[in-house]
Amino acid sequence: MIRNLPAKWDLEADVVSIGSGGGGLCAAITAHDNGASAVVLERSDQVGGVTAYSMGEVWIPGNHHAAALGIKDSAESGYRYIKGLSMGYGHDTAMLNQAVHAPVALKYFEDRIGLKMCAIRKLPDYYYPHVEDSLAEGRYLEALPFPAATLGEWQFKTRVSPHVPYSMTHDEIFDNGGLANMINWDFSVMSERLSKDERCAGPGLAAYFVKGVLDRKIPLLTGVNAEELVVDGSRVVGLRATRDGKDFFVKANRGVVIAVSSYERNPDFAKTLGHQLNPVSMVMPGIDGAHLRLAGQAGARVARVPDVSMLGFHVPGEEQEEGVPLWRGALPFLGLPHTVLVNRAGKRFSNEAFYRSVYFALDIIDGATQTHPNFPCWAVFDSQAREKYPFGSLMPGQEMPEELGTTADSIEALADKIGVDVHGLAATVAAFNGYCETGDDPEFKRGTFPWGALMCGDPTRKPNANLGPLLKPPFYAVQLHRMAGGGICAAGVVADHHCRAIGWDNKPIEGLYVAGNSVARLDNGALMQSGITNARGMTHGYLAGRHAAGNPSDLLQKEMDRLGL
Amino acid sequence: MIEAEKSFVIGAPIDSVWDYVRDIGKWASLLPGCRECAIIDEHNSRWTIKVGAGGLVKTVNVLVCVEKWDGPERVNFTYKLESEPVVGGGCYIASKAGPQATDVRLQLRVEGSGPMAPMWEAVCKPLFNPLAGAFTEKLKTEIEQYVGVPALPDADNSGSGSVMAVVVRWLRKLWLAVAGGNQSQSLRSQELLANKDKVMSEQNKQVVLKFINAMGSSDGATAATCLAQDAFTLAKGFGKFAGIRRYDTIVGTIDAFKQLVPTGLRPDIKSVTAESDRVVVEFEGNATTCDGKPYNNQYCMVFTLADGKIKQVNEYFCTILAEDVLWPLIEKMADAIPQS
């Protein structure tokens, strides 16, 4: 191990979190409440991380909110659901560890920091009802609206999301026709929440954790960029950061927690670790693999699970911050009625209403030709879709900007304009329109996933929320870009059940912890299910904070004993 | 519909206030986030505004139509977002509150249209009042600063046969001869609070030094590249040289200066201090006039920059020396140029 101690330290705490998303904040709060001092370092000028960018869903099987509603569920059932869908790419102990600790961590933060959560009604697991141990509702939770004014001077330094309607709760959205039917939403609620700055979704969730840190007077430092770990020859004892262009040495008596999301803003890492070629990204420019660089220095092991590319597009005139174009995820719009996703041959290649299906198909390589047959690809829709549904921030009825999409009076003319096989697209649309009449998509089973009907479809449309013909000109095509996972990624640092980083010798690296998306996804393997990521961040923070403060959890061992594993 | 009304008193006579507000480009420059204002004609302009809201920065193009320029008491205007179904309007109402005070009322409204109108209004509502507030606050401050010293009369409307008018006419004529009267009608402006970092200060410093050197060698063309289109210099003091000079006059003066001072000013820079959007330079001249007299004035100039261009220069120099040495030369030259 290296030895690179500085002559003097600029700041000292028992536990030092790098990153101010859910993972870093939860680790600091838990460490503090277990008797350790803590500090949170953030590279950018805003706190909340990718957690604040998210829909704020927290997916926890066996949570007490579902129980209070009389929904029958258990952590063990959740474990079986994940294990089955992980396809063997995960580690059983990692999956069980997450399953047993997530409900406990949830309760812990509710009790300690005033986090207020509720079950999202009617939102099913991704694979419901197709696999055992899936539920129609009860595992998805979200935060109640958070009054951001209570953050004081941190109100405007706590991140909000350009991607989600964070002034509405899921229930409010679903009660008025879901994401597709924005046209029916109650905007008086949105107006009031925006005026009062009451935040829902990811911005709300992140704000609760920021408040927890502020209430504890845990120092929260922005503009501090972690450059390298400081190691004393046997354990990690701190880090060298830079602040205002100068070195800033932070001593960590008990541990450093790296919780800096993924590497997707680093194109080389995205290609070589994620197998994603030139992906665009919806997260902040700073999400560039700092965890790999830092933990790699201490010999941390990296692991990868099967993961997918998403799809995105850019609406002209939108920037994430000055000079950084904003990319929006295409997920919610591909499975809408009157919309199909096609490749160069003009053919559909997936169940557009279930993004796991879309994205794995997207990355397929045709070995005969060494090409990606399904990329590039285009969302194709008609003016019925345009009249009724949003497409990103393009609102129903708003004109299609030339920079975003191509417009034509017939499907054939559209195919010709975008360079897609004309006969192929015409045949695809004709067949699809036929499926819309029967309400059954025999090719890709569109509309058979209740989650996709609600999140990627028009739930008011009968008999199939995800089917509607493309009939009414003009027709539109939007070419989609390969997009990284919004912080969710294939590779990460391997951690044990206390979230200690593990070396290539499979031994924990003393003094080094990882949390959230920085952790290799061995706790879910080939599966991803929205809401897992926020649950992981909270749970990892809880576990790392406890262990670093000298009060490690023994729940996993107890559960393994109980299950006879 | 969302409405806002702001009332405030500007410490300036109503005619001076009008002199400022009748230029739509000035309105645009006061709006936080306004990056560009292209004047289409007397009534119409297209503003490009960057609005930070909801976790993103959105560029919107706004078509502004002044329906009635009814000065100095009233301006009625409407506006329309180019790509979003949002429209609005408002009016500016001014009344005399005293010889040095003007009551101003700004009424503004915004309205969503189409099927998503309630959403557009919900989104606009929290932005609208702070934006209107920031705008009015800047309007008041800028006008008070603008009229804070006696303004140099414009050649076009001075009407008087004052010496200042003669000088301005002379300079303008020279400038037109040099530059052919070409001037873009588009102006750039930017949020005052932006670009406060050190890199920007350093860049600003370089722009200012380039400007002073160009001024010192009577190179109007180079000096012009350093100036924003709406730049003005404000010579402080109470003598004949005090007052405001705008872009074309500034450039014209620099070009014309070599006739007065063939050596150039030959500035010897004593200190340069740059901080956020400001650069302050102390320097001394070492020049000889066309009639062989030394002209070694001392200067302190406070430059305000935005977007890499000089917006304003507050000039402090010995106006007594300037009047003694330069004024007789200017009078002689102005007399020699036939009136057009």
Query: For the domain that residue B252 is a member of, what is the CATH number?
Result: 3.10.450.50
pLDDT at B160 over 50: no
pLDDT at B179: 40
Chain B residues inside the 8 Å CB shell of A317: 58-60, 83
**Same structural domain, B332 and B241:** yes
Of A1-5, A217-221, A347-351, give the lowest mean pLDDT range: A1-5
Q: What is the mean pLDDT of chain A?
A: 97
pLDDT (average), residues B117-138? 88
d(CA A4, nearest CA chain B) in Å: 31
User: Which of A191, A319, A395 comes nearest B125 by C-beta?
Assistant: A191
Phi, psi for A336 (deg, rounded to 5) = -70, 150
pLDDT at B170 over 90: no
Which position has the higher pLDDT, B245 or A468?
A: A468
pLDDT at B262: 86
Q: Considering the domain boundaries, does residue B157 fall inside one?
A: no
Chain A residue with the nearest C-alpha to that of B123: A191
- A88 DSSP assignment: T
pLDDT at B240: 81
Helix ranges (DSSP H) in A86-130: 92-113
Q: What is the CATH number of the domain that holds B87?
A: 3.30.530.20
d(CA B29, nearest CA chain A) in Å: 19
pLDDT at A188: 93
How sure is the predictor about B156, in pLDDT bands with cuts at 50, 70 and 90? very low
DSSP string, A471-534: -SSSEEEEEEEEE--TT--SEEE-B-TT-EEEBTTS-EEEEEEE-GGGB--TTTTT---TTHHH
Q: Considering the domain boundaries, does residue B153 fall inside one?
A: no
A320 with B126: Cβ contact below 8 A: no
**Same structural domain, B194 and B87:** no
Q: Considering the domain boundaries, does residue B94 fall inside one?
A: yes
Q: Considering the domain boundaries, does residue B83 fall inside one?
A: yes
**Same structural domain, B98 and B171:** no
pLDDT (average), residues A213-232? 98
Q: Could you identify the residue written with the tokens 């001593």?
A: A251
pLDDT at A54 over 50: yes
pLDDT at A203 over 80: yes
pLDDT at B166: 55
pLDDT at B61: 95
B85 with A398: Cβ contact below 8 A: yes
Q: Considering the domain boundaries, does residue B155 fall inside one?
A: no
pLDDT at A24: 98
Q: pLDDT (tens digit, 9 = 90+) per residue, A254-299?
A: 999 999 999 999 999 999 999 999 999 999 999 999 999 999 999 9
Chain B residue with the nearest C-alpha to that of A317: B59
**Same structural domain, B132 and B184:** no
Share of chain A above pLDDT 70, in %: 100
**Same structural domain, B239 and B309:** yes
How sure is the predictor about A532, in pLDDT bands with cuts at 50, 70 and 90? very high
**Same structural domain, B142 and B200:** no
Chain B residue with the nearest C-alpha to that of A399: B83
Residue A194 touches partner B, C-beta closer than 8 Å: yes
A194 with B125: Cβ contact below 8 A: yes
Q: How many CB atoms sit inside 10 A of residue B333's CB? A: 17
pLDDT (average), residues B158-178? 49
Of A92-101, A332-341, A490-499, B206-215, give the lowest mean pLDDT range: B206-215
pLDDT at B198 over 70: no
Q: pLDDT (tens digit, 9 = 90+) per residue, A26-43?
A: 999 999 999 999 999 999
Q: How far is CA A217 from the centre of its chain?
A: 28
How sure is the predictor about B178, in pLDDT bands with cuts at 50, 70 and 90? very low
Residue B125 touches partner A, C-beta closer than 8 Å: yes
pLDDT at B167: 56
Share of chain B above pLDDT 70, in %: 83
Residue A405 touches partner B, C-beta closer than 8 Å: no
How sure is the predictor about A311, in pLDDT bands with cuts at 50, 70 and 90? very high
Give residues 300 to 319 of A whose Cβ lies within 8 Å of B. Answer: 317-319
How sure is the predictor about B177, in pLDDT bands with cuts at 50, 70 and 90? very low
pLDDT at B252: 84
Identify the three-state secondary structure at position B246: strand
Q: Considering the domain boundaries, does residue B151 fall inside one?
A: no
B86, B111, B146 - which closes a domain: B146
Burial B265-277 (b: 16+ CB within 10 A, else e): bbbeeeeeebebb
pLDDT at B149 over 60: no
Share of chain B above pLDDT 90, in %: 33
- E strand or H helix that includes residue B304: strand B298-306
How sure is the predictor about B82, in pLDDT bands with cuts at 50, 70 and 90? very high
**Same structural domain, B173 and B316:** yes
How sure is the predictor about B203, in pLDDT bands with cuts at 50, 70 and 90? confident
Identify the three-state secondary structure at position A219: coil
Burial A413-445 (b: 16+ CB within 10 A, else e): bbbeebebbbebbbebbebbbebbeeebbeebb
pLDDT (average), residues B284-291? 89
pLDDT at B338: 57
pLDDT (average), residues A52-60? 98
pLDDT at B168 over 60: no
pLDDT at B236: 85
Q: Report the alpha-carbon distance of residue A109 to residue A542 in Å, rounded.
A: 9
pLDDT at B145: 79
**Same structural domain, B299 and B168:** yes
**Same structural domain, B281 and B331:** yes
**Same structural domain, B184 and B36:** no
Of A159-173, A237-251, A447-461, B249-263, give the lowest mean pLDDT range: B249-263
Q: What is the mean pLDDT of chain B?
A: 81
pLDDT (average), residues B99-104? 90
B115 with A396: Cβ contact below 8 A: yes
pLDDT at B180 over 90: no
pLDDT at B206: 86
Q: Considering the domain boundaries, does residue B156 fall inside one?
A: no
Query: Long-range CB contacts (< 8 A, 24+ apart) of B84-90?
Result: B84/A398, B84/B60, B84/B120, B85/A395, B85/A397, B85/A398, B85/B112, B85/B113, B85/B114, B85/B116, B85/B117, B85/B120, B86/B110, B86/B111, B86/B112, B86/B113, B86/B120, B86/B124, B87/B111, B87/B113
Which position has the higher pLDDT, B186 or A536?
A: A536
pLDDT at A40: 98
A398 with B83: Cβ contact below 8 A: yes
**Same structural domain, B316 and B180:** yes
For chain B, the domain total comes to 2
Q: Considering the domain boundaries, does residue B158 fall inside one?
A: no
**Same structural domain, B11 and B120:** yes
- Residue B76: which domain range? 2-146
B95, B119, B146 - which closes a domain: B146
Q: Report the alpha-carbon distance of residue A43 to residue A241 in Å, rounded.
A: 9
Q: How many CB atoms sit inside 10 A of residue B141's CB? A: 13
Q: How many CB pairs under 8 A join A and B?
A: 75
pLDDT at A156: 94
User: How far is CA B75 from each of CA A424, B43, B90, B276, rounded to the nearest angstrom?
Assistant: 59, 11, 8, 35
Q: What are the structural domains, with CATH classification, of chain A?
A: 11-224+489-563 (3.50.50.60), 310-483 (3.90.700.10)
Nearest to B151 by CA among B260, B234, B229: B234
Which position has the higher pLDDT, B12 or A383?
A: A383
Residue B54 touches partner A, C-beta closer than 8 Å: yes
Q: How far is CA A458 from the centre of its chain?
A: 23
Q: How many CB atoms sit inside 10 A of residue A283's CB? A: 24
Q: Tell me if A258 sits within 8 A of A514, measured CB to CB.
A: yes
pLDDT at B171: 55
Q: Report the alpha-carbon distance of residue A228 to residue A238 in Å, rounded.
A: 9
Q: Could you identify the residue written with the tokens 């009322």?
A: B105
d(CA A6, nearest CA chain B) in Å: 28
B58 with A317: Cβ contact below 8 A: yes
A161 with B126: Cβ contact below 8 A: no
pLDDT at B164: 53
A318 with B55: Cβ contact below 8 A: no
Which position has the higher pLDDT, A142 or B178?
A: A142
B106, B121, B146 - which closes a domain: B146
pLDDT at B196: 40
Q: pLDDT (tens digit, 9 = 90+) per residue, A449-502?
A: 999 999 999 999 999 999 999 999 999 999 999 999 999 999 999 999 999 999
How sure is the predictor about A542, in pLDDT bands with cuts at 50, 70 and 90? very high
At A204, list the tokens.
């709300």
Give residues 78 to 97 of B whose Cβ lies within 8 Å of A. Answer: 83-85
pLDDT at A324: 94
Q: pLDDT (tens digit, 9 = 90+) per residue, A396-441?
A: 999 999 999 999 999 999 999 999 999 999 999 999 999 999 999 9
pLDDT at B142: 85
pLDDT at A44 over 50: yes
